[in-house]
């Protein structure tokens, strides 16, 4: 079984969405973790948009990357530039991947416009996660 870490700044939105989808697509092929270089709590809007797509992340917690230094990760995925630039060194041979997804928590506008931005980013992350699993955890 592979160990995958998704890393973001605050472990509140993008990394939580990615953790949810990676778990969904990987099934029992991988243990999925997400963390931040800070912890900001799981964003309620992230929970909401994932529930709209049938994935429950309401039990997720916001974790600091330091909690996982002893885990031998096979893959580390950074989902924002800040995390990539500040990603700690892991004593592992982990392959690193990076995609700078927009931060939906910074969306402005009406409540509907903000939720639409969360959905847009969710859908981008869903596609990335689906492709990541199919390309890296093929049977």
| 8 part of the active site | yes
pLDDT at residue 88, as a whole number: 58
Domain boundaries, the chain: 2-136
Out of 4, 7, 8, 49, the active site residue is 8
Among 36-40, 64-68, 127-131, which range has the highest average pLDDT?
127-131
Q: What value does the mean pLDDT take over residues 24-46?
A: 93
Handedness of CA 99, 104, 106, 109 (dihedral sign): positive
The model carries a pTM of 0.92
CATH code given to domain 2-136: 3.40.50.2300
Q: What φ, ψ does residue 37 adopt, rounded to 5°? A: -80, -10
pLDDT at 92: 65
Of 94, 95, 116, nearest in space to 107 by CA: 116
Residues written for the chain: 139
Q: Please say if 87 is a catalytic residue.
A: yes
The per-residue pLDDT for range 94-132, each reduced to its tens digit, is 898 999 999 999 999 999 999 999 999 999 999 999 999
- The predicted structure's pLDDT at residue 38: 85
Q: Which of 80, 129, 133, 137 is catalytic?
A: 80
Selecting among 87, 107, 114, 124, the annotated active-site residue is 87
């Amino acid at each position: 079984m592979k160990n995958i870490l998704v890393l973001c700044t605050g472990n509140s939105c993008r990394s939580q969405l990615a953790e949810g989808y990676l778990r969904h697509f990987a099934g029992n092929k991988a243990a999925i973790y997400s963390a931040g270089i800070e912890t900001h709590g799981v964003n309620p809007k992230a929970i909401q948009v994932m529930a709209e797509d049938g994935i429950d992340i309401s039990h997720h917690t916001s974790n600091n990357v330091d909690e996982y230094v002893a885990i031998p990760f096979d893959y580390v995925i950074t989902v924002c530039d800040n995390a990539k630039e500040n990603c700690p060194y892991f004593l592992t041979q982990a392959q690193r991947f990076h995609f700078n997804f927009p931060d939906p928590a910074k969306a402005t506008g009406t409540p509907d416009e903000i939720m639409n931005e969360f959905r847009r980013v969710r859908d981008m992350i869903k596609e990335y996660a689906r492709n990541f699993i199919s390309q890296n955890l093929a049977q």
